[in-house]
Amino acid sequence: MDSEIVIRAFSAGDAADVRELFIKVNRLLAPPRLKDAFERYIATALNEEIDRVADYYRERHGSFWVAAAAGRIVGMFGLERSDAPDAMELRRMYVAPDTRRRGVARSMLQFAEDECRRNNMLRLDLSTSELQGEALSLYRHVGYRLLREQVAVATSNKTLGGGIRRFYFTKLL
């Protein structure tokens, strides 16, 4: 990056940028055959999560952060409690397309792991789809263990459905 990456807690003033980044990344991920499904997924996630991100993560005993460089939001991610009492789940880790391959995702992931440790969490869980090859590569490279693969059929704010393969990972901290 040309400037330092600063990771900070989400604030209300970040809402429009977070919303825009979420929409942009998901539209870029959408294969042509799933454009309509992605638009429905985006609408569901905006309504249930992104447009109320502070409340959403607080309700799940977590938090949401943004990564900024040169005063611009270049990434985002959230942490929410996982099913296990000693684990968190990484959610919504997205990097602006024009700033990829510059260490933003790695910095956010390290911050998330450190945040888990600060909160006495022993494990970080996450999932990603077959459409996110760079994310799959990063998680494997930094020690995440694949727990299972699953074809997502139903749409929710966490999954597109549409027959997309999802990969579920964990890492002991």
**pTM value > 0.85:** yes
Q: Is the dihedral of CA 15, 165, 38, 133 positive or negative?
A: positive
Q: Hey, how many other C-beta atoms are within 10 angstroms of the C-beta on 88?
A: 27
d(C-alpha 104, C-alpha 5), whole Å: 7
Residue with tokens 């704010």: 157
pLDDT of residue 83: 87
The CATH classification of domain 6-122, taken from the options 3.20.20.80, 3.40.630.30, 1.10.3720.10, 3.30.70.380: 3.40.630.30
Strand order across the 72-81 sheet: 6-9, 63-69, 72-81, 87-95, 123-129, 164-172, 145-152
End-to-end CA distance of the chain: 27
Residue (of 118, 106, 166, 111) closest to 142 by Cα position: 106
Q: In which element (H, E) is residue 164 found? A: strand 164-172
Element (H, E) at 55: helix 53-59
pLDDT of residue 37: 87
Looking at residue 69, its pLDDT comes to 94
With the CA atoms of 141, 114, 60 and 164 taken in that order, what torsion angle do they form, in degrees rounded to the nearest 10? -10
Q: State the Cα–Cα distance between residues 89 and 101, nearest whole angstrom.
A: 23
Using alpha carbons, select from 166, 168, 156, 92 the residue that is nearest to residue 123: 168
Q: pLDDT 10s per residue in the chain (173 long)?
A: 457 999 999 999 999 999 999 999 999 999 998 899 899 999 999 999 999 999 999 999 999 999 999 999 999 999 999 988 999 999 999 999 999 989 999 999 999 999 999 999 999 999 999 999 999 999 999 999 999 999 976 655 455 666 788 999 999 99
Domain boundaries, the chain: 6-122
Q: What is the pLDDT of residue 20?
A: 98
What pLDDT, on the 0 to 100 scale, is given for residue 161?
60
